[in-house]
Amino acid sequence: MLSLAESMDALRTIASSKAVATLAAAFSEQGHEFALVGGPVRDALLGRAVTDLDFTTSARPDETAAILKGITKNVWDVGRDFGTIAAKVHGETVEITTYRAEIYRDDSRKPEVSYGDTIEGDLVRRDFTINALALMLPELKLVDVSGGVEDLLAGTIRTPGSPATSFTDDPLRMMRAARFAVQLGFEVAPDTQGAMVEFAERLDIISAERIRDEFVKLLSTDDPVPGIRLLVDTGLADRFLPELTELLTTQDDHGRHKDVYEHSLTVLRQAIEMELVRRDPETTEADIVLRLAALLHDIGKPATRRFEAGGVTFHHHDVVGAKLAKKRLRELRFDNDAVKRVARLIELHLRFFGYSDQQWSDSAVRRYVRDAGGELEQLHILTRADVTTRNKRKAERLEHAYDDIEQRIAELSEAEELAAVRPELDGAQIMELLQIPPGPLVGRAYKYLLEVRLDEGPIGEEAAEERLRAWFAEQGDN
């Protein structure tokens, strides 16, 4: 954290910006209190970059909208029912929320909102003390009603009041505790963590979409593993991702196989490290598909574990895991494309390990690329990250083998345009050549030519026509 003088300088810099100064003056002229609140104040005090500007005011939403329309044409509702109006002022996007208090009833998935009259009352209802900070504008008065500055100094995540009350009011705050702990490198206070255990079941009233969004925020951090551990240890993960906590059941005190839970966290961490190295410099967003696949790649193991002579097996855990992941991610309302891609990566994550035992033919390499599709680069990362063995010689052998397969893919891609593997003839050409109408036979013919392409590489259109005629002649009346 910055020194007091440095912190105040950082806050003054924000307050003096054209957008903030304009807003503060406009609300003050109408007789309303106005303050920068929450994350921007926290981050300024910590010396972190301030990217979002959130404000609170004594003005009601209609009054806020009227004031904003007096200084900008770009005004819109973010959540008027929750008291929030957004605007673009001098190039800055801002959100302004009326002082409020909200509470979740026992059977409610949405908070009931009532408006407050004081900044102190607004701050007390916020999630954590480090976010219950406000800078009153334009007077530059820092308001801290619950010891947020002290908790910033101590690196502590704590609720402003009773954690039981806070988590009962908004159960999603329990997941946010894990995220903030990771983002800031803080520790969750013991009583706060204890309440997360006690009220974990309360998370069930929160909508799947809100849980998904909060989990994605956690996964998007540079190292989400400590936060994931906290979610598992408190029982929160079991409420929305039980397949993850189920991995704990595969821990083996007799040393017959590695700890699948710890292995999965290691794979996630290694995948993120590789993602950050390989990521396009212009890309700033985390690869959530890759991270989900890394975390969940072994969730099929508990259901497939079998103790056999000589050890333990997890036959087909890749296929089972892909099905489990697809079902769970759909329940969490991930979009269909993301669900499909995560499942594909999980299903393919073991494919490479046969290559390390016996080098593949060109045909096998083509199929590997074909099956990976648009997730080939992510599959490269996931497969490399899945190597967590402590046997240095084995790790080096696997690394060299994967270096080799990536090199072969690059060489074949350059020679054959491997990323767009398709037969020399398309459906229309097949129908014209064979004089057949649209139907299943066209699909079978196309599939036959694709297999030829995968097995032999490009053979040219003329040779493809000859092979197709020969194949068609063998089909008889089918």
> At residue 270, does pLDDT exceed 50?
yes
Question: What integer pLDDT is reported at residue 307 of this predicted model?
Answer: 79
If we measure between CA atoms, which residue out of 128, 129, 138, 118 comes closest to residue 14?
138
Q: What string of DSSP letters covers 422-435?
A: --SS-HHHHHHHHT
- The more confidently predicted of residues 25 and 312 is 25
Cis check: omega of the bond before 138, within 30 degrees of 0 = yes
Lowest pLDDT segment from 153-157, 321-325, 400-404: 400-404
Sign of the alpha-carbon dihedral angle for 431, 435, 440, 445:
negative
Class of domain 155-240: mainly alpha
Q: What is the pTM of this model?
A: 0.81
All CATH 1.10.3210 domain ranges in the chain, comma separated: 254-420
If we measure between CA atoms, which residue out of 434, 462, 456 comes closest to residue 446?
434
Tell me the pLDDT of the chain averaged across its residues: 87
Question: What integer pLDDT is reported at residue 57 of this predicted model?
Answer: 95
Per-residue confidence band for 253, with pLDDT thresholds at 50, 70 and 90: very low
> At residue 250, does pLDDT exceed 90?
no
Per-residue confidence band for 23, with pLDDT thresholds at 50, 70 and 90: very high
All CATH 3.30.460.10 domain ranges in the chain, comma separated: 4-154
8 Å CB contact between 381 and 278: yes
pLDDT digits (tens, 9 = 90+) for 314-341: 888 999 999 999 999 999 999 999 999 9
pLDDT digits (tens, 9 = 90+) for 113-154: 678 889 998 999 899 999 999 999 999 999 999 999 999 999
**What is the mean pLDDT of the segment spanning 427-448?**
80
pLDDT digits (tens, 9 = 90+) for 338-356: 999 999 999 999 888 766 5
Instruction: State the Cα–Cα distance between residues 311 and 150, nearest whole angstrom.
Output: 53
Instruction: State the Cα–Cα distance between residues 125 and 169, nearest whole angstrom.
Output: 9
> At residue 267, does pLDDT exceed 90?
yes
- Find the angle CA(358)-CA(447)-CA(320) to the nearest 5 degrees: 55
Phi-psi region of 38 (alpha: psi -120 to 50; beta: other; left: phi over 0): left
Fold type of domain 254-420:
Hypothetical protein af1432 (1.10.3210)
Residue 454, H or E segment: helix 440-456
Pick the CATH number of 4-154 from 3.40.50.300, 2.60.120.380, 3.20.20.140, 3.30.460.10: 3.30.460.10
**What is the mean pLDDT of the segment spanning 73-77?**
92
